[in-house]
């Protein structure tokens, strides 16, 4: 089993977390965000995550999770009860739709506030400082254009992130899990999709609902909460 991924992508973190929970051995193939020929050859499309399982390519994090649940049903991450299963699937879709693009924008907006070498180090680790600086400047322009990242958009995103976090916290109602009393794909989806809020600016991270949601994310994801490359970048920015 091979997972084509960008290591710090929250969609890829989602898939890795489920693979690890189920104890499934797999190989990771890291894709540079600006050069995707390998994943194109393997899966016929350019997005990650993409999983190749016994010669079959599956693209998209939710599709991969459902494939893994079918092929490797233990431990079960979808409820057996039909109503709870339907609720779990609905909450997965809600978490993706609500948080995926939003949290990516606020996290990248914060990274883009730093020098180009920071972004270059995220996309091109191990390269020279000059290469990271030049590549980071090119990547920054591409990210702003692709995801519509602007200061004006960020001000709207602050309010949207606070509102979405408040809804998620209210839905949890102090419980450990969204559906029933066991970990499910809904929990993993919400946690991975909202966890990039930890890299947003203080206008987002100091909000009470965001802090409570991030604390819940950390309990759900454990070591997966902070992808290594992003953690290293955040530490470097703090120096």
Residue predicted with more confidence, 88 or 44: 88
112-132 b/e with 16+ CB inside 10 Å = b? beeebbbbbbbbbeeeeeeeb
**What gap in Å lies between CA 83 and CA 87, rounded to an integer?**
6
Place of tokens 């902070």: 226
Q: Is the pLDDT of residue 17 over 90?
A: yes
Q: How confident is the model at residue 32 (pLDDT cuts 50, 70, 90)?
A: confident
Quick one: what percent of the chain has pLDDT higher than 70?
Answer: 89
**What gap in Å lies between CA 129 and CA 135, rounded to an integer?**
10
Residue predicted with more confidence, 33 or 1: 1
Our measurement of the distance from residue 144's CA atom to the centroid of its chain's CA atoms, rounded to an integer in Å, reads: 18
Place of tokens 């090119």: 138
Q: Taking residues 39-58, report their average pLDDT.
A: 92
Q: How confident is the model at residue 239 (pLDDT cuts 50, 70, 90)?
A: very low
Give the pLDDT confidence score for residue 236 in this predicted structure. Answer: 44
Per residue in 182-204, pLDDT (tens digit) is 999 999 999 999 999 999 999 99
For 173, the token pair is 């109602």
For the ranges 3-7, 43-47, 136-140, the lowest mean pLDDT is seen at 136-140
The answer to whether the bond into 112 is cis (omega within 30° of 0) is no
For residue 4, report the phi and psi dihedrals to the nearest 5 degrees: -85, 125
Per residue in 114-170, pLDDT (tens digit) is 766 666 666 666 677 777 777 777 777 777 888 888 999 999 999 999 999 999 999
- Could you list the beta-strand ranges (E) of 8-139: 27-30, 50-53, 56-59
Q: What is the mean pLDDT of the chain?
A: 89
For the ranges 28-37, 55-64, 200-209, the lowest mean pLDDT is seen at 28-37
Give the pLDDT confidence score for residue 228 in this predicted structure. Answer: 59
Residue predicted with more confidence, 134 or 234: 134
Cα dist from 142 to 4, 61, 136, 146, 230, whole Å: 21, 23, 10, 6, 19
* pTM for this prediction: 0.88
Place of tokens 């997965």: 92
State the sign of the Cα–Cα–Cα–Cα dihedral 147, 192, 13, 119. Answer: positive
Q: Domains of the chain (ranges plus CATH)?
A: 2-71 (3.40.30.10), 82-238 (1.20.1050.10)
**What gap in Å lies between CA 22 and CA 184, rounded to an integer?**
12
**What gap in Å lies between CA 70 and CA 77, rounded to an integer?**
10
> How are the residues of the chain apportioned to helix, strand and coil, as percentages rounded to the nearest 5?
65, 10, 25
Give the strands of the sheet with 2-5, arranged side by side.
27-30, 2-5, 50-53, 56-59
């Amino acid at each position: 089993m091979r997972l084509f991924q960008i290591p710090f992508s929250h969609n890829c973190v989602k898939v890795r977390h489920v693979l690890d929970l189920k104890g499934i051995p797999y190989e990771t193939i890291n894709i540079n965000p600006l050069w995707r020929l390998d994943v194109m050859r393997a899966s016929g499309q350019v997005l990650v995550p993409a999983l190749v399982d016994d010669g079959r390519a599956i693209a998209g994090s939710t599709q991969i999770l459902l494939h893994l649940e079918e092929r490797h049903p233990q431990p079960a991450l979808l409820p057996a009860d039909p109503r709870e299963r339907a609720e779990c699937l609905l909450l997965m879709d809600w978490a993706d739709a609500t948080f995926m693009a939003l949290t990516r924008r606020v996290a990248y907006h914060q990274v883009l506030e730093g020098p180009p070498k920071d972004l270059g180090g995220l996309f091109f680790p191990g390269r020279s400082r000059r290469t990271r600086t030049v590549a980071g400047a090119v990547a920054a322009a591409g990210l702003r254009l692709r995801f519509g990242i602007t200061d004006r958009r960020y001000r709207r995103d602050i309010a949207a992130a606070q509102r979405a976090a408040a809804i998620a916290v209210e839905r949890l109602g102090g419980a450990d899990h969204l559906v029933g009393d066991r970990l499910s794909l809904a929990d993993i989806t919400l946690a991975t999709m909202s966890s990039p809020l930890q890299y947003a600016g203080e206008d987002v991270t100091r909000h009470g609902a965001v802090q409570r949601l991030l604390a819940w994310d950390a309990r759900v994801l454990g070591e997966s909460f902070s992808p290594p490359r992003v953690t290293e970048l955040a530490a470097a920015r703090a120096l």
